[in-house]
Each structure stands twice: as structure tokens, then as C-alpha cells.
Amino acid sequence: MEPKDQKEKPLSLEACLLIYDEECRLCMSVKHDLERRGISQTRTGIRFVAYQSEAARTALGQRYRLGRPETVFFIQPSGKILQGLDAFSPLLPHLPGGTLMQWG
């Protein structure tokens, strides 16, 4: 977890954003596992953003609600927002066997 006083990087229009709940143990575990597997902005163009951040509030706009989120969000550079299980589909090509899973 990043220190709260650390300044956030500005949002990039080229980056995809995976917005997760940093207060959720499952979300944090999945995030760390994805990072361990090499999914990062540098390698894949996917940036992890905590829902509790100003960056998430800005990116989600009117979809943002105070409190904890009920789901994870994936925002594409075009502005399209995927939610829930659909939010993980863009990650599949970056995971071992993920391309095969997309066929199913």
C-alpha cells in the first residue's frame, strides 16, 4: 500500500485503469498477484488505482459513490467502463493461458 501523503501521478489518457478497493483483502491479494505476474502500466499499459483515491473519483465521475465500492472497474482509454467480472477480461491476454480462457 502506498503512503497516503505520496502524491498521485496524473491520469494518462493512454493508460487503462483497474480501479480496486484498497480496503478489501481479496482485492489487495488479486492486485498483488497480478503485479507479481507482470501486469503493470510499464509492461501492459494497465494502471492500478485505489477506489479511495482522488484519481478514481475523477476517472469514474458520476459513477463514483462515497464509501466502499460494490465492484471493481476497468476504464479503457476510450472512456468505456467495464465492471465486475467483465473488468478482468482485458487482463486475460497478459496471464498464462488467458488467451485460451477468452475462447470459453
2 belongs to a structural domain: no
69 belongs to a structural domain: yes
Condensed to tens digits (0 to 9), the pLDDT of residues 78-104 reads: 999 999 999 988 888 877 765 544 445
Give the CATH number, domain containing residue 98: 3.40.30
3 belongs to a structural domain: no
10 belongs to a structural domain: no
Condensed to tens digits (0 to 9), the pLDDT of residues 19-59 reads: 999 999 999 999 999 998 888 888 888 999 999 999 999 99
Domain span at residue 31 reads 16-103
**Cβ-based burial of 93 (10 A; exposed 0-12, middle 13-18, buried ≥19):** exposed
What is the rounded distance in angstroms from the CA atom of residue 64 to the CA atom of residue 60? 5
